[in-house]
């Protein structure tokens, strides 16, 4: 039984990947700076797994403890989802984003490169490093970050490239389109829209929702991440995406239609966020060709799953924070 060490286990993507890995039979160690979230946000809590262990540890403060656990357990794989991840909020105190996403992350990498037992390190990056772009971009598209968040992620990615080339560090990098699915944090656009409609609240739509995105179900992303972790080529980056593109306005309108409410009754148009990229669309033929991955969940089915999750858990979810809560 291989051990998978997941950093950022309380994140939406991290918790979903843990659930996927446990179902694959892996032993999983999860760490997060926060206590485990309520079960509604942690799909692996549905089952009584005896091969999962959680540690509350902060990458910024507890690196020596994290490193000690890694050296003791000697996991075959380490997957790092941890990051200060909000784009608009990164303008408020950018130093926090650089502390986590660059300084602490590079310190972690400098420890991991010494771990000769490590089969693969999976670095979860973001399309934000490309900035706004037209058309579908491949993995070698030039970086052009436009926010403190994106700059901080690009810096860590470039640092990892040097580690890969200099130390033969066994790293693979993933960049996924906008993920969604049951269990996502409520400040993200899909669960937030559903929740606000059910609560009779107005949703603020920044910039009128003209920016376009590709959305991909988290189950498909976890499947791709597992394949990349096990079979990917060291030093390579893989895009995980669909070929479907939708504007944020059309997305919200579509959710309104599925809930049988009028867009105009539930949406308020407000100003755009600083540095908001108008579009980024990822070309994903590489992971499809090399690793035989295909996305399985179509958008309407995925939206219906999200609507059902919010509806069934409304009593618990309405007591959770609706907005992003920053933790330095």
Strands 237-240 and 171-176: parallel
pLDDT at 60: 97
Burial (CB count <10 Å: 0-12, 13-18, 19+), residue 111: middle
Structure token digits, residue 123: 């670095």
pLDDT at 24: 95
Query: How many Å apart are CA 245 and CA 94, to the nearest integer?
Result: 30
Smallest Cα–Cα separation from 89: which of 9, 206, 257? 206
Q: Do domains 3-179+216-240 and 183-213+244-317 have the same CATH topology?
A: no
Q: Where are the domains of the chain?
A: 3-179+216-240, 183-213+244-317
Q: Tell me what pLDDT residue 133 has.
A: 80
Closest CA to 173 of 111, 134, 203, 129: 129
Which secondary-structure segment (H or E) carries 267? Answer: strand 267-270
Q: What is the value of pTM for the model shown?
A: 0.95
Confidence at residue 74, expressed as pLDDT on a 0 to 100 scale: 98
Angle, vertex CA 250, rays to CA 202 and CA 271, nearest 5:
55
Two structure tokens written together for 13: 């993507």
By C-alpha distance, which of 70, 50, 51, 49 is closest to 59? 70
Neighbouring CB atoms inside 10 A of 295's CB total: 22
pLDDT value, residue 14: 98
Which tens digits make up the pLDDT trace of 264-312? 999 998 876 665 556 678 999 999 999 999 999 999 999 999 999 999 9
Pairing of strands 52-56, 77-80: unpaired
Max Cα-Cα span within the chain: 58
- Tens of pLDDT along the chain (328 residues) come to 799 999 999 999 999 999 999 999 999 999 999 999 999 999 999 887 889 999 999 999 999 999 999 999 999 999 999 999 988 899 999 999 999 999 999 999 999 999 999 999 999 999 999 998 878 999 999 999 999 999 999 999 999 999 999 999 999 999 999 999 999 999 999 999 999 999 999 999 988 888 888 999 999 999 999 999 999 999 999 999 999 999 999 999 999 999 999 999 999 988 766 655 566 789 999 999 999 999 999 999 999 999 999 999 999 999 999 988 888 7
Q: Is 141 helix (H, G, I), strand (E, B) or coil?
A: coil
CATH number 3.90.25.10 is the correct assignment for the domain at 183-213+244-317:
yes
Q: What is the CATH number of domain 3-179+216-240?
A: 3.40.50.720
Give the pLDDT score at 273.
Answer: 66
Task: Give the sign of the dihedral formed by CA 232, CA 233, CA 237, CA 239.
Answer: negative
CB count, 10 Å around CB of 318? 13
| Partners of residue 30 on adjacent β-strands | 6, 54
| Burial of 69 from C-beta contacts in 10 A (0-12 / 13-18 / 19+) | middle
User: What does the alpha-carbon distance between residue 280 and residue 213 come to, in Å, rounded to a whole number?
Assistant: 6
């Amino acid at each position: 039984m291989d051990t998978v060490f997941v950093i950022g286990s309380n994140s939406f993507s991290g918790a979903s990947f843990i659930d996927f890995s446990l179902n694959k039979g892996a032993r999983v160690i999860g760490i997060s700076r926060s206590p485990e979230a309520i079960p509604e946000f942690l799909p692996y809590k549905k089952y009584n797994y005896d091969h999962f262990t959680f540690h509350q540890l902060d990458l910024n403060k507890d690196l020596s403890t994290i490193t000690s656990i890694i050296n003791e357990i000697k996991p075959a794989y380490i997957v790092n989802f941890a990051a200060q991840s909000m784009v608009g909020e990164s303008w408020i105190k950018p130093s926090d984003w650089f502390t986590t996403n660059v300084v602490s992350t590079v310190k972690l990498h400098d420890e991991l490169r010494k771990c000769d037992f490590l089969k693969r390190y999976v670095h979860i990056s973001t399309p934000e490093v490309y900035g706004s772009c037209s058309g579908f971009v491949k993995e070698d598209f030039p970086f052009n970050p436009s926010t403190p968040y994106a700059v901080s992620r690009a810096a860590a990615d470039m640092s990892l490239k040097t580690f890969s080339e200099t130390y033969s560090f066994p790293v693979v990098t993933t960049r996924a389109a906008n993920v969604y699915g049951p269990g996502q944090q409520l400040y993200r656009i899909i669960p937030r829209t559903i929740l606000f409609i059910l609560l009779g609240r107005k949703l603020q739509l920044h910039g009128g929702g003209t920016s376009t995105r590709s959305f991909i179900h988290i189950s498909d992303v976890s499947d791709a991440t597992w394949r990349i972790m096990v079979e990917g080529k060291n030093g390579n980056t893989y895009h995980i995406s669909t070929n479907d593109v939708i504007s944020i306005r059309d997305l919200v309108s579509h959710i309104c239609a599925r809930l049988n409410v009028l867009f105009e009754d539930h949406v308020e148009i407000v100003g755009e966020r600083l540095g908001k990229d108008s579009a980024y669309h990822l070309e994903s033929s590489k992971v499809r060709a090399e690793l035989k991955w295909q996305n399985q969940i179509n958008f309407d089915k995925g939206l219906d799953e999200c609507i059902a999750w919010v509806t069934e858990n409304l009593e618990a979810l309405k007591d959770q924070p609706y907005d992003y809560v920053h933790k330095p």
